[in-house]
């Protein structure tokens, strides 16, 4: 299975900040990476697919980049509703696998 390693595991930031989360795949996966946001007690919400494409309705404050093994999710101008857990996922090889998550907390 392809391992997806996210860093950091947790991150403290303030409203208005810009943050970046990284995800590294254990082998090359082209750009078959998605990012999800999960608020407590809720289902994951899709943000980005194909490493950098925003799902419909996702604000442009979210952006993704990368190819091969290294990927990033950047969130600009943090708002209270952005404090949540974020997951990366690879869908280049079965079984699909997710990163362990990055918890974004209020500083």
CA distance 40 to 15: 19
Site string for other proteins, 2-31 (x = CB under 8 A): ------------------------------
**Bond prior to 95 in cis (omega within 30° of 0):** yes
Whole-number minimum distance, CB 15 to other proteins, in Å?
26
In angstroms, the first-to-last Cα distance of the chain is 35
List the one residue from 50, 69, 72, 93 that touches other proteins (CB under 8 A): 50
Strands 10-13 and 102-106: parallel
- List contacts with other proteins (CB under 8 A): 32, 34, 36, 42-46, 49-50, 53, 55, 87, 89, 91, 94-101
């Amino acid at each position: 299975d392809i391992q997806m390693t996210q860093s950091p595991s947790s991150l403290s930031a303030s409203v208005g900040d810009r943050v970046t989360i990284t995800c590294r795949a254990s082998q090359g996966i082209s750009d078959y990476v998605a990012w999800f946001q999960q608020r407590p007690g809720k289902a994951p919400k899709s943000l980005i697919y194909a490493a950098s494409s925003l799902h419909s309705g996702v604000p442009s404050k979210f952006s993704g980049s990368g190819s091969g093994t290294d990927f990033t999710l950047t969130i600009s101008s943090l708002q209270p509703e952005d404090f949540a857990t974020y997951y990366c996922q690879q869908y280049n090889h079965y079984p699909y696998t997710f990163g362990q998550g990055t918890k974004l907390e209020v500083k």
